[in-house]
Structure formats: structure tokens, C-alpha cells
Structure 1
Amino acid sequence: MVGRKQPPTSVPGVRAQRLVINASHVAATHTYLALAAFGLALLLGCALHYKKIVKNGVAGYPDEWFPSVSATIGDWYPERNIFQILIALTSGPRFALVSLQYFLRRSPNTSLPGFLFAVGIVRTLMCGGWVYITSNDDHDVHDVLMVTYILCNVPWMWGGVLCTPIGHVKARRRRRYVATGFFVSIIPMIYFFVQHKIYRIPGAYTRYSFFEWSLILLDVLFDSITELDFKASNLQIVLGVSLDASVGCDDISPSVPSKGTSSVTETKSEGLAASSKNEQTVSHVSATVPRTFFQKTQAALTLSRDARAVIGFISDVYLSYLFWSIFTSLITTLFYFSVWQLALSGSELSLLVLLSPALLGIGPLRTWALTRSGQVTLRAVAILTGLGSYALKSPMQRLIVVNFANVVLLVGQTTDWSAGKDGYQGLLLGLGLVLLSLAKHANHSTNPVWPMLNEESGGYNKTGLFLAFCALYELATRPFTVPEEEKQISDSKDSSKVTSHGWLAGSIALGSMIFTLHCFFIDPSTIIAWSWTGYKDSQPKGPLPHLHGSLTLIAQAIGLALPTILPACWFINPLWFSYGCASAFVMYRFRDWTGFVGGLNLAVFVMSLLPTIIRQSAQPNKAGRTYSTAFFVTILFYLADVWTVAYAFVPGGVYLRERSDLVLVAQFVATSLVFEWPSRKRTAANSIVHIPSSTSFLVRHLLTLFSLSAVLVTIYRWTPVGPRPYKSGTGIINAGIWTVHFGIDNIGHDSQGLIRNMIRDMKLDVVGLLETDLHRTVYGNRDLTRVALQDLGYYVDLGPGPNMHTWGAALLSKFPIVHSQHHLLPSPHGELAPAIEAVLDVYGSEVTVVVSHNGQEQDPLDRELQSNELARIMAKSYPHPVIFLGYVVTKPHASRPAPYDILVYDGIVHDIDPQDWDRWCEYILYRGLYRTAYARISRGIVTDTELQIGQFVVPRHGFQLVNQTLEDRMIRAWKEDLPEDHWFPMEYYGNNNEGGMNGHFYHVFDTPLYYKLPEGAQV
């Protein structure tokens, strides 16, 4: 029964028995059982297996002397079994505790108690997951469940404090203290975990374990505080059985609270008008029975309504994420054809599908699109075709299907935008973007549901489709209280009256905003790439993408949360626009941490404008021209952004050559149209966004969850062991050069996994990757080094960023990068050529590695000037060792002004094999090292260029190798003449017909070339 406790009612012939249980006993039982489970496991573990449970992968007793929770509860008999029995007994009181708290807190004025009820259920299930699936059973599953449990504690504890009844001062104060202690303890726990996992410091895990156990204790104590609420409200559980009538009921009833105590005791009656038939059926039992039945039913409906609202909100956010996923996949899918031709290929016409919102000018179509059936149909068709296109093998087929998906998608999405009145659509758009950024952060900077990914390349396409079915089903069955079609059409008419005179300004601002979000914020590492300049004194000079990308996500979350906290008028004030301009200037003008901080502030500014811009663009009666104009502006920005770097391959490109500053200024000029300038104050004031408190609450909680998830993903993805050379102690260094064609393989899929496999198999200690600047809209804002870095362990220099307007160069090294410098090689006519000059600490000796991508043969002057600069860079470090890994475009031994002669003679370096006449693009040059092997490996389907590898031996420390003769360098040998650690993998012997691995094999010579060390070599 839900309600105040009622006096018993006598009914002739009916005998009732009642069992009354104080709800506080449930809370106490839960506390004692939980403490007993963990406490007994700890005592038994220390008594029976002490040295075993304190031992870990780094050290054992006495360095480690206190066990972790996982080792205590999951590794040994009998403590594991006793713990699991006790924790199973705890589950009943725990579920009861969650349900009772919901009953006590529920209110018709907020959906927060219902949301907390759902979180409490999920939290309990996650707890059962990580205690029964131990780290020994499945380490990854255990960690995921544990992390999810901790994340659930954020809304659970925060919401628990907010929902504490006003009169329960003692309980509220204790909850604040315990919750604060819980979250503060996470910080040192993560610190000591990093000390243990990354730096492998003995004893760090013991310190980590103290904080891990403190989280367990604080978690149990937080739930135990519920006992105070139950006692103050005198909440009781009454189990009643009518023996003669065989009718049972459960009665949960708080007695009349004492003075000064506030509790929720009244129930809603709306929507619960039971049929007279039901009332007549139970009327002969007693007055209590029907009251109990209907109040229980009403409570269940209230819970269902609140939970359904939360589920509906989550579904909307996921659908927004899918909008961004399909929308951003279009330009990446079409650009596959452009990068093969390095010219306008005709695929660029696919951008015109973005003008499909013009179809909303057809009245009947827009009216249907506003209906429930229209919404579900449009989304279903767009999502199922857009996500399902990954299964198509042909790049052209994928492009056609993605084009169609975007036509349908934009019609449905802009219809929703046109009908939006309260900022909800703007918040949804932002939440979908943050979720996209988080998904890429967790998935090596690639969106797991993009058509360019499949299961082999890191995609989770089937999972995405399954969740899409769930979200679409929820949308199709979502309840509503008034005829939804009429409400949306009515709302859209009201909306049109507000801003009907400002459609053009809103369109231009929206088009600029969509491009800005796509350009900078669909991946958290893009603004890091803008500020990156390399290393100094063996430390990065700025933020690292895989470590500090979570800060970008947090900044985006803060920006989107601001409109739910601060007055709406703040975000149309010219002062706020000045803040955005200053942020963009700092990001563009400065580098390293200063430039990155400017980018973070730009993220806050841009995300905060989303509700305002979407609201001001809502023009229902002019939806067709409004949104088609907006996306036309977006198309212009896409082209301008590409033209700044592809100027050598497009007509009129010279006018935007390297002028990202002009594009950025144009973005802000367009965005300025939504602000409250004196000349349009009335228009802007009429467009102020009003966001309901219930929506604001859910948005802030979800953004908090996303932010914490980003930090936890960073920790989870942190390389467990620092980079180490593949053949430590041998003095061997394997170096490779590979032009990887923008991370797109020959059939249009992301190639990071294939690149990683080749680097791993060939045991490359140093590798130069070219055509790697993917932090652009056309490449999906990806980080091509992320998979190799996180899966194999490398130091990474990204090279010149997207603001440097090159095709990109990156350096991966197993050896520490002492310092590095980025160069923009002279390019007066053609494409701007990048170069990285890095000094590596190779077994205690400093070796300079130069990675470069020169211009094409169409610009001979550029190539000559670039070669002169590269020769100068290599010559200045003479006689110290140098390895040159470059894309040169020249024939071997070509005389000046061709690059070969300039590089070899002016740079004072040797060709890795001057007798290899079959080269054109890629070259490996060296100095001051012993070369022992050289291989050329076919490209497979990864790219359009082979991988070249050189194997070198570093002279003993302190010895400088100079004046090597050609005879000393060219003592050829069979591999059997060298130790096995000099051999390249045998699995790659083969040809076009058979052999090799994944389409790769040794070609040109059909084998690696091996060389003996000269007599008297100092190694």
C-alpha cells in the first residue's frame, strides 16, 4: 500500500493477518550484510593466503603488504565463496532499499526520483557483475562493470543529496560528507594506479588498495544513511493476507511523521481512474484492500512514467549521436575518390544532398514529417541505410547509400529543429556531438558506427544497429498526453510568429555553427593537433591527444551545461561573442598549452550557443529555405576548408592557399548574426531560449557522466608499459617509411588496424608515416597514430598540424624523443611540404631522424628548394648519426637539380642501397650507423605505396662512425650469416600468387637484403 497508514477495517467473515516491518531494518540489514561480506573476505584472505593476495604483476611481499579488493574477493577459496554467498544475501535488501527510497522521495513535481530508481537498479546489477565476474575470470569485463558501477555512483550520490527530505538535516549532512569523501578518494586512487600500472613502482598498489577499500566502505556507508530517512519518516512495510478471501496485499506506509518532518505520503490520482468493474470485484473484501490495490497500481504507473521519461531522453540522445555519425560520414565517404585522383573527381557533387531540407517547402511533406509516423519512418530509413551501408563492399555503392541516408536524415532532423521552442533540440544536438566525441576518444579516434569501419577495422556496426532498433522502438511507442501531431504543428506555428523576420541571419549562423562543430569538435584531439609542436628535453611541449583529449570533452560538456545554469540573455550578449573571438585568436595564434587552452575556451563558447542558434533558426513556415540555406553555407565552408590545403589541385585554390585565418574569421562573422547587437536587439531578445528545469537536470547529469567516462577511458587506454625497443640490448634499430594515403585503404575502409599489424610484425622501432594529417572534416578528424600508440606503445610526434596546411607527417618511436622540431619546407608553387626533425635517445646515443614529404614532380623548383633545406638539416648535425625517412620523388642517382644528388652529397648521408635502381618516391638515407638489412614490402590493400625498412646497428656508446667506404657498407650476406635477431619475419616470403601475409610480401628482390658488419665494427 502506498499512502498514510490506515486504521484496520473489519469485514464480516474476513480474517486478516499483518506483518509489520520497519523499513529502517531493511537498511540496517543491507549495511551489516555488506560489511560482513567484505570484512570476512579480508580477514580470511589475510589469514589463509596473505602473501598470495598481496602479490601483483609488479611486486610481492614485503613491497606490497595490503591486498586489493579484487584479489581479496575473487582469487582464492574459501574467502571468494563466503563473500559471494553473503553478497548474494545482500541483494534482496539492496533492491528493497532502492525501491523504498523511490517511494519516499517520489513527487509529482520532478522526475528525479524515477531517474535515481533506474540508476539504483543499474548500479546494483553492475555491482553483482564485478563481484561475480572477477579479474581472473575476465579482466576487461570486470573492469568495465567496475567502472560503470563507479559512474552510476555519480548521479546516485549527487541525486541522493538533492532528494533528501528537507527536514532530514542530519541525513543530508552525512550524505554530503560521505559523497565528498568518495569522489575525493578517487583522485589519489587513480594516481597510485598509474604509478603501479604505468611506472611499475613497487608498493604503489598497496597505496592504491587503501583508497580502493575506502571507496567500498564509503559506498556502504552512503547507503546506510537511508536508515535515518526511514526512521524519521517512520516508514513501515506491512504484509497483509486476507485468509478467507484469499486476497493478499503489500502495504508500504509511512506513519504520520512527527512535527518538523517532511515526507512524501500523498499520491497522484490523475490517470488512475479505475473501471467500475474492478472496484466492484474487490469491494466485498474490505475498504483497505481496494485502496491498497489502486495505490500500488498508481505507484507503479508513476515509476513507469518517470523511468520512461528518462529512457526517452536517452533514446533521443542516441538518435542525435546517430545523426552526427551519418552526417559526418558523408564527406569522408565521398572524399575517398578525391584522394585517389588528387583532383576534383565528381564525387564532390554529393555535397548537394545536404540541400535536401529544401523539400520541406512541400507543405504536405512537412506536415507528415511532423507526425509520429513521419518521425519514425524518416529516422528508421535514414539510420538503417546509413549505418547498414558498412556491409557494402564497393566504395561507390557505399557513397550512393550514404547520400540517400543523408537526404532522408536531414529532412527529418530539420523538421524537428523547425518545431523546437524550448532549446531541447539544441541541447540534444550538443549531447549527440559530445557522445560522438566520446565514442571516438574510446575507439582510437574513429567513430565505431561509421560506414568506413567494419569488424576488422575497429567498427561496432552491428552493436550500433541494435541500439538504433531499440531507440527507434522507444520513439515509436513513446506515450504522449495530448495528440502529439497537433501539438508539434501548433508549437511550430507559435514559433514562427516569434522569429519570422530573421530567417536569413539564423540560417547563416546555423550553417557556420554546423561546420565549426564538425571542423573542431567531433574529435577531442583536433584542437590538440592545432597546437602541437613536438618535444623538448624529452618531454612534450604541449598536450598529448590520447592523454589530454578528455579535457576537450569536459570543456564541451561545460559549454553545453551553461545554458541550463545561467540566464539565456548571457549567450546573446556581445561580451560573450568577444570571449569567443578571443578564444579563437589564442587557439590560432599560439601553440602548445597556451593554444590548447584557447581551444578549450572556444569549445565552451561554441557549445553554449547551440540552443540559441537552433532556436533562432526555427522557422516552421520557411523551413525549406531556412535549412537549405544553412546547409548551403556549410557546403561553402567545407570547400573553403579543403581549398586551404588542396589549393594545388583545384581551380581558384590560390586565393585560399594557407588562409585558414580567413575561414575562421568568416565563421565568426556568420556566428555574430545571432547576437544582440543594438540594431537587432528586439529580434534577438524574442529568441531567448527557455529550458525546462527537468530537461536541464537530465542534461547536466548526462554531461557529468560523459565527462567522467572520458577520464576513465583515458586511464583505461593508457599504455600499461612504457615504449621499449623490440630488440633491447642488441643495439638494433629497425626504421621504416610508409606513405599511408590518409588512413583509407584501397576499398575505402579505415586502415589503422592494418598499419598496426604491419608495424608490429616488422618490429619497427622507428617509423615515419606520411599523408597523416587527418584532423580535417574530409578525413573524419582522426588521429592515425592512435591505434599503434595505444596497442603497441610508442612515443609519437604528430608533425605539423592542420593549421600548417600540409598533407601531414608523423613519427612513431620506441626510443625517447629528446627534442623535435617541425619544418615547413619551401614551396613557392606547389603543395606545402612538411618535415619532422627529431633527436632520439637510442641505447644512450643521440640519433637524428628526419621524416619528410616533398612536393610532386610537377613543381621542380619546389623540389629543389625543399631538398636543399633537408640537406641543410641533416648536414648541421654531422658527424652525429642520422636516419632520413622521406618521400622524395626522384630517380636514384639523379643529378642536380633533382633531389637525390642534393640530399646524399649536401646532406652528407649514404643511400641505404645505392644499387637499388627501382625506386621513385620513398628513400631511406643514413649516416653514422651500421646498416645490416633492407627490405621492400608490397602495399597489400592498405595504401598505394610500399613499406620500406632499414635495419641498423648503433655503434658502441661514445664512438662516432665516420668516413665509411662503399666497400664496408656493401658487404652482402645471406641471412644465415647473421644472428637470428637480424632476420626479418619469414612469414612474408611469397609473391602475387601465394605466400606472404594479408597481401604483403617481400617484393622487388623477393627477399630482404642483408649485409655483414665490416671487420673491426665498434658495436
Structure 2
Amino acid sequence: MAPRIKDGDAVVTINGKWVSWSHTVFAYAAFFSALIVGIALHYHKIVQNEHYGYPDEWFPSVSATIGDRYPERSFFMVFIAITSGPRFLLVFLWYILSARPNYTLPKIVAGVGVFRTLTCGGWTYVTSTDDHDWHDIFMISYLVATLPWTLGCLALSPNNRRAVKYRKILASLFFGTLVPLIYYFIQHKVHKVPGAYTRYAFFEWSLVLFDVGFDAITALDFEGFEFVVRDVKGISRGQLKTTADSVLEKEKGKSVGNTFGEGFFWTEIIDAAADVYNGFVFWTIVTGLPVLVWYFPLWHMGISGYEVAIVCCCSPLFFAIPSLRYAAAKNLRALHLISLVGLLAYKFQDPANRLFVTGFALATSCAAWTASFFAERANSPRLETRIMAWGIGLIMSVIVKFACYTNNPLWPVMHAENGGWNKIGLVVAIFAVLRSQRGSNTSGGDYLPSGGKKGSSILAGIGFGGLMFAIVSLLTDSSTMISWVWDGYPVRGPIAVPHGAATILAMGAGLVYGVFYPAVAGSWTAYGIGSLGAALLTCYHHWTGYYGALAFAFYVMAVSPVLISSSVRHSPATAFGVGFIFYVFMLLFHVWVVAYAFVPGGPLVREHTDWVMITTMISIGAGVFSAATSNSSTRFRKKPIGPNGKRQRSYYIYVLAALQLLSISVAYLRFPTNDYQPHHKEDKVLTAGIWTVHFGLDNNMWAAERRMRDVLGELELDVIGFLESDNQRIIMGNKDVTQYIAEDLGYYVDFGPGPNKHTWGSALLSKFPIVNSTHHLLPSPVGELAPAIHATLDMYGEMIDVVVFHSGQEEDPEDRRLQTQYLSKLMGSSPRPLILLSYLVTKPLEGNYNTYVSELSGMKDIDSSDWDRWCEYILYKNVHRTGYARISRDTITDTEIQVGKFVIGEPEPEQEVRIPEELVPPGRRFPALFRGEGVRGHRYHVFDEPRYWQ
């Protein structure tokens, strides 16, 4: 019965449902009035995009419709401004409807609703023409906020079956539409398929319908409200039972059902975030040390002795001494604080000192985390949260690298000048340790120190080591497994952006699944699925291989809680100490398969990534076997997680959800534009270069991508070949040196052959569309494999071939002879004009040079009079050469940049005559910036100036 109404309380009463109806009507009017006016006045203009127009594209996108043209933009803005009033009232009424005493979720949902409304105003009134970056920021913020708003409304829905049914339908349609939307956007943006943008537009308009329609359902809930606001049914007093309450009652006692049913406390989510950040620091140090180790054999061209630093991670072996073990467990805060010295390593300029400091930090960090797991062995809920912090910290590190173009900004090879966030990261890390490591009672719980079956401690250790290797080798960067399955243009599989977000999503989903369903995650069925994923990743390219990669990522993260929970039941010195020893063995194993020419016994494992993957999965299987033995004992079965444990679990999942939203945002903001233009389009000039980048680590052990970006941009390079560029291994940090340069300067990228093909890598960056490319492994019976990329580029409407090639080393002349014959035949068989950007390891006019430059290949040397070359060469055929220059590298690498200029569309003259620069048209000249002393250590050298031909 409605409460009695006092006389004179209400002058005018308006039912609350009209707030929803007015919001719906004005929102639809904003979009569809703009659509009608736009089609009537500017049809051909609003269906035109950067690739196609009418009739290939015949329906406009939302952004094109409401964007910049008058008067449709004005129609949209007027109606969307009117919509803002009902929108704020809708959020307000929803809060009144769902608010209950001591219940925080309604406040969060209301805050998201207000934020979403404000960001809608942002992308509405700041168009892409006004400010493209801010338009995108507001738009992605709005889309990201839609997820918590939708889920929050579903969780707080009154127990109105009709409303809940419609909400579920519209929410499913909204999120389901995102899949084809993204697919057709990629078809349009990456593949340039005619008509794809029209299909994309239909799904984009569908999102508008579903988004507004979802909020229109509130009309069914607001019928119980009247204005001036009087609650006529008492529903605003916290007495209303929500759908979430009904579900929680039915699911009581089940893991998923109870996780989110408790109150929300900001202090506890801050604790969870601090714990996750500690995990992020751990993975930062774990992945940062091998990069430092790699610097020394890289510059010594062989084993240097510094490689021994990788055994620092084996510090848990010292826990064989009981006093050390228990002292560590009682002083976790001190251990974690000491390990932060690794974030200070960047302060040491000497590479050796930086290595020693980071090695000490890694030893301390591995001991600290082992002690953390050991200290909570008697308390299953707290052990679970430590494992989740460890796993979500890994995902955070991957997302940070995803946002920072595969560099971790806290690594010791980073500093302020090259994009490091070292100071901020250290300050946050100190507060995180102080917050999360405040000491707790670690006694009691369900752990029994004796009796029952515990499984084999050695097998548990091998399982943990295999888990560590699987994670560090393949899951510490979202682009690593994508580079495994990439096989050239046209695009037939995933690309690093945006599909790296899918890898991150699979990792997060796997970790959550392993926490909620450890029995399934630790089963042999799950192990079989994970092994199948590993096999597909290893043996197949394109989408088939990537589907295997996703299954592998999901399984590895899911089995992590199982293997770690099993390992803590044994001595930490045995389980974790042996585990890290096995991890070091696997690290060397996976380096040996590609570095076989430089290490003792290398030929025994040459090119056997398949052996590495098999060993990895067998080792994880050993851990699963040990865990299964332990879990078969009733004395070691976990007790059900209590309410406090479930509440704690929920906070870590909130943090994970926020990180996943961040990864989606990064994927959106980094989505490739594919609208790149050459520097001198009007002159039809091609400026091409070759550079052996030495893995993007400079002479002083700093990441060099930004310095590389600066010099390449100033040289106005349209096409550049990188050699020694494959960093998708543990010792190189699992990163991609091309991403930052390509996105900042605007290049299409082809990298290959991939890291599972056992080369040191080659890459092609081009401002011209890459029509087709194939990857080659040249004959190498003795020495290192020689990679080559053979690509066809669309240069000003003419198809031109470009080959990027790295020959084998000097010590193996037979390899180089066979490679010379192979590549010469390849170049000679091309019917198109061709440019070779290469590392040949030969002297001009001698030996193999005369096969590369011959009738067999049809190639000419860009400057046969340049006698001072040994490695880098630019050759060409059937294209007009006009210039050649050599630019010093400063301290970025050990090899200079060689650059050639060509004019496309002009016939190659029978005799090319050297001319002075004064006679060269300005658009065909090299930049004057590098004359004389040059800039930042880069200058024209050897002959101190560019050379030109008529």
C-alpha cells in the first residue's frame, strides 16, 4: 500500500517513466535527424572515406553523419544537448531505485553513469576535426564506461522479469555487435576492402540503437516514481529485492555466486591494487635482467661470463636453511623493499654495475615472493590472493608494455630520455610494499605439515619451472605469439595491435578460471587442451596458430594457481629452488636453438623450438601430476573459501577488470591508421635505407627506439630495412623495436621470419602499402640462418619489389656462397623493378659480390666506387637511382645507416652521370641537417657528403 500523501505536498505529478521516454526520444532524434538531413544534403560526401566512395560505399557511418557538416551537425548537437537533462535525471532515478543502506555498488554505478554522460558530451562537441586526440579519448572513455554501466544495471535491476529480459537481450546484442564491428573496421582499415565500411556503418548504427534502447528499459522500472519526487511504493528505502539478491540466494555456497555479494570497501581494493603492483614489479625485474645480460655477449660476440647473472633467480635454494626460511617469512616487507633497488638500477651508468644491481634485486625478489607463498601456506584464502596478485601483476606488466610499444618503462634500460617512468614507478612501488606487506598472522588454516600424500617435490619444482618458462618466454608481451604466427602480407591473421588485447583477455580469463575452478584447471583434460594449443602455436601460422596461442595462454594462466598451491606444500628450497634452476635450464635451451653458432654444444639443439615447447609442456605435466597426487589426499583438500576470502577475491577481480578495460582502450588508441604518405610524393621520390640495428640496444645499454626514430624521421626515409631486429626472446625482453618507430613516423611493417624460425631477424618498414610479402630462410648448412623478406610495394601506382636480407657470418663461407646463389636467383626471377637492402659480408668487386651484381640477378650496385664497405649494400635494377649517402650511427648501434634515393616512374638512363648537389632538384636532395658536424652524432661520413646522379 502506498504511503499516505499529505495535503498540499504535490502541485504537479509527472510519472518517472517519462524521464526514460524523453531520453529515448531525444537521443534517437539527435542521431536520426542528422542521418536524414545528411543523406538529403551531402549523401556522396558522407559516404566517402579515405579509400572509397559511392557506389562502393553507400551508407554513412555515425561519425561521418554527425561530424563536421552543417546543418546535420547542428541538428545532432541541439537534440543531444536536450537529451542531457533527461540523462542526468535517469542516472539520478536509477540511483534512488537501487540504493540500499551500506551498499556501495549503486554509488559506483551512478558515478559511472555521470562520467558516461559527460564523456558523451565530450565526443559530441569535440569532433575529430576539432581535436582528433581528445575526440578519441572521450569516445573510448564512453565505450569503456558502457561495460560497467551495463553490468551494474543488470546486477541492480529490480526483480522485474520483463525489464531484466529486455536488458539481457539488448546488452547481449550490444556486446555481440562489437565483434563484427571490429572485424569490418579491420577489413576497411587494414585490408582496404570495398564496401567494408558500409557494413561497419550498419553495425555502428546498431550500437546506437542498442545503447539507447538499453536505457529505455528504465521506463518499466520508473513507473513507481512520480515528480516532485515522491516515492509512492517505498522502493527507495532499501526494501527492494534485486535480481542480484535473488541470484545470490540461489547460488549461495557456490564460488562465483558469493564472490561479489559482499560490501565494497575502498581500503581493501587499495590493498589489492598495491598487492598487484608488487606483482608487476616482480615481473619487471624478472624480464629486465635478461635484457642486461644479453648486452654483454652481444658486444663480445660470444660468451662473456656475465651470463652467470641469470642464476640470481635461484635464490630460494637458500631456504634449505630453516632459519633463513622462517626469517624471510617474518620479514616480507623488508625483503620486498630491498628488492626495489632493481628500480634504481637505471641510476648506474656503467652497464656492469647496472647488471649487478638488477641481479641482486632479482635474487631478493624471487626470495621474497617464494617466502610470501610459503608464509601463507596455512591460509588458503590469503595464499590465493598472493597468487592472484602474482598473476594479475604479470597481466599488468603485459598491458604496460602494450601501452608503451613493448618496452617496460621501469626496466633498467629505460630512463627519462627514452620513455622511462623510473622515478614514478619507484615511488608507487614503495607505497605499494608498505601498504600490502603490513604483517599478518600466518598460522593456522588447512595446511598439515605431515601425513597424507604430497606428491613429488621435485616434480612440483619442475612444474613451477616449466610454468615460469612458459610465461616468461611467451606471455610477457602481447605481441610475442602473434609474431610466431605472422607470415607476411596480405594480412591473414592477427596483428600486434589490436589483437594483443585478445591475448591479454585470454590470460585474464584463464587466471580467473583457475582460481574459481582449480579442479578443472588442474585436470588432464585441461592439460590436453593446453598441449593442443601449444602444438597449433608451434606448427601453424595465421589464425589457426593464433587460436592455439589463445588456448595456450588461457591454460598456462589457469594452471598457475594449481601448480603454485601444490609447490607450497613442499620445502620452498626444493620446489621453488629446483623450479628456478629448471627455468634457467629452459632459458639457456631456448637461446641455444638460435645461438647455436656461438655456444658450445649448440648444433645439438639447432633450430629445435619444437623440442623446447615439448619440454615445456612435459614439465608442466610433471607439476600437474604432483598436484593431482596432493589433491587426491583428503587431508590436503582445500576447505571452502569463507565469506571474507570471497570478498578479498572480488577485489582482485575488480583490479583485473579495470586492467582489461585499459588494454582495450590501448588497443583502440593504438589502432593503425594505415594512411601513411611518402615524404616527397609530389616528386615521386623513394628514399630507402638499410640499418643493422643491433636489437635496439645502444652502446651504453639503453633502449634506442626514440633515438632511432629521430634520425630516421630526419632522413625522410620512405622505406627502411632493419637487420638484427628480432627481440621476441627472453634475453631480448620479448619486445618489438619496430612498433614505436612505425606508429610514430607512420609505416607499414613486415617482420620476419618469426622468432620460431631461429634467425636474428629482419624487418621492413614502408610508407607505401605492402601488397604482398614472403619470408625466406636461405641455405645455412653450418652457420646461423639467413633471413630475407621479399615484398612488393605499391609506389605511386607502380609495383616495386624490395628485398631485405641478412647474410650469414664470415666464419662460414660455404653458407654465404649458397645464400648468394639463392638470393641472386630470387632477385633475377622478379619481373618487377627491385631494390635490395642487405647485409652481404663481402668486399666490393670481390668474391660473392660478383654473383649478387651479375646477369643472374640483374642487379646493379648503388655506388660501385664505394670501396669502404663490408656488410651493408644497396643494389637495384630497373629503377632510376639518383642519390646515395652514408650516415654515422653515433652510439646507437655498431653499424651506420646507408641510404639511397630513387625516382619512380622515370626510365633508368643508359648512363648515369655524377652531378653536384646544386643541379639536383630540391625534392631529390638529402637533408642538409647531416652536413658537417651533423646533429646528435649523426653526419654524412666516409665521403662526407651525399652523391648524386642525373
Could you say whether these structures have the same fold, taking a TM-score greater than 0.5 normalized by the shorter chain as the test?
yes
Give SS of 1:726's match: coil
Pairing partner for 2:843 from 891, 902, 910? 891
Q: Does 1:979 find its partner at 2:894?
A: no
Pairing partner for 1:649 from 588, 592, 598? 598
**Residues 128 and 870 of structure 1: CA distance in aligned 2, closer, same or farther (over 3 Å):** same
How far is the alpha carbon of 1:38 from its aligned partner? 5.7
1:175–1:225 CA contact under 8 A, matched in 2: no
Q: Which residue of 2 aligns with 1:170?
A: 162
**Residues 56 and 494 of structure 1: CA distance in aligned 2, closer, same or farther (over 3 Å):** farther
Q: Which residue of 2 aligns with 1:865?
A: 818
Q: Which residue of 2 aligns with 1:835?
A: 788
How far is the alpha carbon of 1:548 from its aligned partner? 2.9
How far is the alpha carbon of 1:500 from its aligned partner? 4.8
Give SS of 1:485's match: coil
* Aligned pairs (5 A) from 1:203-352: 210-211=205-206, 213-214=208-209, 217-218=212-213, 220-221=215-216, 227=222, 254=237, 306-352=265-311
**Residues 759 and 335 of structure 1: CA distance in aligned 2, closer, same or farther (over 3 Å):** same
Q: State the one-letter code of the partner of 2:666.
A: V
How far is the alpha carbon of 1:516 from its aligned partner? 0.7
Q: State the one-letter code of the partner of 2:314.
A: L
Distance 1:317 1:230 in 2: 43
Give SS of 1:489's match: coil
How far is the alpha carbon of 1:945 from its aligned partner? 0.6
**Residues 955 and 534 of structure 1: CA distance in aligned 2, closer, same or farther (over 3 Å):** same
Q: Which residue of 2 aligns with 1:151?
A: 144
How far is the alpha carbon of 1:339 from its aligned partner? 1.1
**Residues 571 and 558 of structure 1: CA distance in aligned 2, closer, same or farther (over 3 Å):** same
How far is the alpha carbon of 1:194 from its aligned partner? 6.3
Q: Which residue of 2 aligns with 1:630?
A: 579
RMSD of aligned Cα (Å): 4.5
Distance 1:43 1:838 in 2: 45
Q: State the one-letter code of the partner of 2:499.
A: H
Distance 2:743 2:61 in 1: 31
Q: Which residue of 1 aligns with 2:947?
A: 1009
Q: Which residue of 1 aligns with 2:126?
A: 135
Moved more, 688-697 or 72-81: 72-81
Q: Does 1:540 find its partner at 2:482?
A: no
Q: Does 1:930 find its partner at 2:887?
A: no
Unaligned 5+ segments in structure 1 are: 8-16, 107-112, 239-250, 267-301, 478-483, 1013-1019
1:723–1:814 CA contact under 8 A, matched in 2: yes
Q: Which residue of 1 aligns with 2:395?
A: 434
**Residues 86 and 722 of structure 1: CA distance in aligned 2, closer, same or farther (over 3 Å):** closer
Give SS of 1:506's match: helix
**Residues 457 and 308 of structure 1: CA distance in aligned 2, closer, same or farther (over 3 Å):** same
Q: State the one-letter code of the partner of 2:168.
A: R
How far is the alpha carbon of 1:698 from its aligned partner? 5.6
Q: State the one-letter code of the partner of 2:496.
A: P
Moved more, 706-715 or 1000-1009: 706-715
**Residues 677 and 684 of structure 1: CA distance in aligned 2, closer, same or farther (over 3 Å):** farther
2:66–2:76 CA contact under 8 A, matched in 1: no
Give SS of 2:837's match: strand
Give SS of 1:619's match: coil
Distance 1:261 1:380 in 2: 41
* Aligned pairs (5 A) from 1:70-219: 87=84, 94=91, 97-98=94-95, 101-103=98-100, 114=104, 117-118=107-108, 120-122=110-112, 124-125=114-115, 127-128=117-118, 131=121, 135=126, 139-164=132-157, 167-187=159-179, 210-211=205-206, 213-214=208-209, 217-218=212-213
How far is the alpha carbon of 1:937 from its aligned partner? 0.6
Q: Deviations over 1:425-450 (max 9, x none)?
A: 33333322223222222322222332
How far is the alpha carbon of 1:329 from its aligned partner? 0.8
Q: State the one-letter code of the partner of 1:903.
A: Y
**Residues 155 and 262 of structure 1: CA distance in aligned 2, closer, same or farther (over 3 Å):** closer
**Residues 114 and 854 of structure 1: CA distance in aligned 2, closer, same or farther (over 3 Å):** same
1:174–1:225 CA contact under 8 A, matched in 2: no
Q: Which residue of 2 aligns with 1:452?
A: 413
Give TM-score, length-normalised by structure 1: 0.79
1:719–1:791 CA contact under 8 A, matched in 2: no
Q: State the one-letter code of the partner of 1:168.
A: N
Q: Deviations over 1:771-792 (max 9, x none)?
A: 0111100111112221233233
Distance 2:90 2:799 in 1: 64
Distance 1:260 1:560 in 2: 27
How far is the alpha carbon of 1:1001 from its aligned partner? 1.4
Distance 1:56 1:218 in 2: 26
**Residues 256 and 777 of structure 1: CA distance in aligned 2, closer, same or farther (over 3 Å):** closer
Moved more, 568-577 or 402-411: 568-577
Q: Which residue of 2 aligns with 1:296?
A: none
Distance 1:30 1:744 in 2: 60
**Residues 399 and 406 of structure 1: CA distance in aligned 2, closer, same or farther (over 3 Å):** same
Distance 1:401 1:556 in 2: 31
* Aligned pairs (5 A) from 1:779-794: 779-794=732-747
Give SS of 2:443's match: helix
Q: State the one-letter code of the partner of 1:485.
A: S
Q: State the one-letter code of the partner of 1:345.
A: S
2:448–2:635 CA contact under 8 A, matched in 1: no
* Aligned pairs (5 A) from 1:578-657: 578-619=528-569, 622-657=571-606
How far is the alpha carbon of 1:972 from its aligned partner? 0.6
Q: State the one-letter code of the partner of 1:581.
A: S
Give SS of 2:100's match: helix
Distance 1:378 1:681 in 2: 30
**Residues 555 and 688 of structure 1: CA distance in aligned 2, closer, same or farther (over 3 Å):** farther
Q: Does 1:722 find its partner at 2:675?
A: yes
1:519–1:777 CA contact under 8 A, matched in 2: yes
**Residues 227 and 465 of structure 1: CA distance in aligned 2, closer, same or farther (over 3 Å):** farther
1:934–1:1008 CA contact under 8 A, matched in 2: yes
Give TM-score, length-normalised by structure 2: 0.84
What number of residue pairs does the alignment pair up?
911
Q: State the one-letter code of the partner of 1:634.
A: Y
How far is the alpha carbon of 1:549 from its aligned partner? 2.7
How far is the alpha carbon of 1:885 from its aligned partner? 1.2
Give SS of 1:950's match: strand
Distance 1:834 1:686 in 2: 56
**Residues 391 and 765 of structure 1: CA distance in aligned 2, closer, same or farther (over 3 Å):** same
Distance 1:448 1:18 in 2: 67
Give SS of 1:540's match: coil
Give SS of 1:649's match: coil
How far is the alpha carbon of 1:520 from its aligned partner? 0.9
Moved more, 210-219 or 629-638: 210-219
Q: Does 1:517 find its partner at 2:467?
A: no
Give SS of 1:839's match: strand
1:527–1:599 CA contact under 8 A, matched in 2: yes
Moved more, 200-209 or 497-506: 200-209
